[in-house]
Chain A
Amino acid sequence: MISITEILKDFPIFETKIHGKRLVYLDNAATTQKPRQVIEAISQYYETRNANVHRGVHYLSEIASEDYEEAHNKVAKFLNAKGMEEIIFTRNTTESLNLLAYSLGLNELEKGDNIVLTRFEHHSNLVPWQQMARRQGAEIRFIEMTEDCRLDLASAEKAIDDKTKVVSITHMSNALGTIIPVKEVSKLAREHGAYMIVDGAQSAPHMPVDVRELDVDFFAFSGHKMLAPMGIGGLYGREDILEKMEPFLFGGDMISIVSFDNATWNRLPWKFEAGTPNVSGGIGLAVAIDYLGKIGFDKIHYIEHELTEYAHERLNELSFIKIYGPEPKYKGAVVSFAMDGIHPHDIASLLDEDGIAVRAGHHCAQPLMKMLGTDSTTRASMYFYNTKEDIDALVESLQKIYKLFS
């Protein structure tokens, strides 16, 4: 089994000193660091195989097309989709969700329909639906949050009904870490014939995802939160639904036959990938998935859960810290907290002076923050390359900050 020292050696960023100090990177929910293997795959692609895909018969173009398709296959396996035709590459989760909001919203959503979300949604799974609902005269409903910051399944039964066209929910809250029981919700969506969409931006990097076992129609994710480069992400969609769906972006590559006044669409998944794609990103994503496979989600879960429990334990020792969100067993590796009398931006700035990277703010979940009675928190989010020493550094620095302000 690969050791933490070996893992850390794979991530060149950790050689960078931050204000002369060791980098303690605890902002993984925002984006993760990239292993050498991914960085090398991208430069190797540009150095030896760069060409546009699906357009040339020349050698490089064919190689690039093959690699790019192979990346789709890799993602299909990663999510246990049936095959490449169910995997659309996008820039990120936000674009994947917009694809769905536009395509389903403009073509299927009718006046009087409703869209069901949770109170945990990131702005990217809230704002596109708000816009579509307004445009089409549909209603947005929310599955509520319990007192202990978990999903209130009873309220899901009330929210989802025969007028529900779309259920779109996050798999894991980026602000609090709460893991959402997707399968239970998808059961309800099925009973009422609604499309079931999952925002997997925070789950795909940290837990095994099986779209068929979860029984969902769509699953959106971002490569950059799971070791891959920025600018590549994806959307799983069930083949029979994608076949019937209207495209979102129009142009080159997504067509089959074009005349001056009409066009027909390419086969899946290309029907949904208009224009020159991010080939190097796709290749980087494939290598990132290999890397995750090498570590294994069992180990990733084990490391992250240990770290989360340890962080709770250490932070709970500090009387001036209040943790938001559920107990570790109900969440991923995210710890969102507040500190008596000190603003999250000051905490984050002062941690930064010690080389510790965290996020301060509303975490793109303003309405959720308001529900919690605050407008911002400080968030430490971990990945498998973090260590207990990182948590110790955080705690030590927080104690120093508290002293400075008291």
Chain B
Amino acid sequence: MSSMYRQLIVDRYKAPLFKGKLDNADIHFHDANPLCGDEIEVFVRLDDEGKIKEAKFDGTGCAISQASVDLLLEGIEGMTPDEVMGLDADFIKEMLNIPLTPVRLKCALLGLKVLQAGILIHKKKQEAGES
């Protein structure tokens, strides 16, 4: 069996590239996995064309959840929020490229879930502002 913990996962857990907070974020959401207590807060700033310019996260939890969100934020630079809404579990699995058990897949997906929830809230706010 190949390990769930390939070097990239461990490295990005120990030294994440996208950890931090952003002031005046356009998209901001915070949630936890009630089963294991992992927590993730995401911050996203959009550019003038509405594309993702900068993203950060803050959080605590297992290496899978934390490395996964760090890699995710790297991957979404330049995407539109709608494109991010189209990402699914398969995208995360491919991105991590490790054998995940069903339980640990939930850890891996936490970041995407939080990010997508933040985007939905952002869109609702925008719609409310426009109408």
Contact B62 A346 (CB under 8 A): yes
Contact A404 B62 (CB under 8 A): no
Contact B36 A19 (CB under 8 A): no
Known: A349-B104, A404-B10. Contact between A376 and B37, CB under 8 A?
yes
Bound-state Cα–Cα, A349 to B62, Å:
10
Enumerate A328-364 residues with CB–CB distance to B below 8 Å. Answer: 341-346, 349-350, 353, 361-362
Number of A-B contacts (CB under 8 A): 41
Bound-state Cα–Cα, A343 to B107, Å:
12
Q: Nearest B residue to A401 by beta-carbon distance?
A: B5
Enumerate B1-31 residues with CB–CB distance to A below 8 Å. Answer: 1, 3-5, 10, 13-14
Contact A343 B63 (CB under 8 A): yes
Contact B64 A345 (CB under 8 A): yes
Q: Nearest A residue to B3 by beta-carbon distance?
A: A353
Known: A345-B104, A376-B37. Contact between A404 and B1, CB under 8 A?
no
How many residues of chain B have a CB within 8 Å of chain A?
A: 18
Interface band, chain A:
10 to 19
Bound-state Cα–Cα, A361 to B35, Å:
8
- The one of A345, A404, A405 that contacts B107, using a Cβ cutoff of 8 Å: A345
Per-residue interface assignment for chain A, residues 364 to 392, with 1 indicating a CB less than 8 Å from any chain B CB and 0 otherwise: 00000000000110000000000000000
Confirm or deny: B61 has a beta carbon within 8 angstroms of a beta carbon on chain A. yes
Contact B36 A345 (CB under 8 A): yes
Contact A404 B5 (CB under 8 A): yes
Chain B residues lying within 8 Å of A350, measured Cβ to Cβ, are 3-5
Known: A346-B5, A361-B36. Contact between A405 and B62, CB under 8 A?
no
Could you name 26 residue pairs across A and B whose Cβ atoms are closer than 8 Å?
A19-B1, A341-B14, A342-B63, A343-B38, A343-B61, A343-B62, A343-B63, A344-B62, A345-B36, A345-B62, A345-B104, A345-B107, A346-B5, A346-B62, A346-B64, A349-B5, A349-B101, A349-B104, A353-B1, A353-B3, A361-B35, A361-B36, A362-B37, A405-B13, A405-B14, A405-B63
Task: Point out residues on A near B: beta carbons under 8 Å.
Answer: 19-20, 341-346, 349-350, 353, 361-362, 375-376, 404-405
Task: Point out residues on B near A: beta carbons under 8 Å.
Answer: 1, 3-5, 10, 13-14, 35-38, 61-64, 101, 104, 107
| Nearest 9 CB-CB pairings of A with B | A343-B62, A375-B37, A345-B62, A19-B1, A346-B63, A346-B62, A349-B4, A345-B36, A353-B3
Apart from A349-B5, A349-B104, A376-B37, 4 more pairs, CB < 8 Å? A349-B64, A350-B3, A350-B5, A353-B4
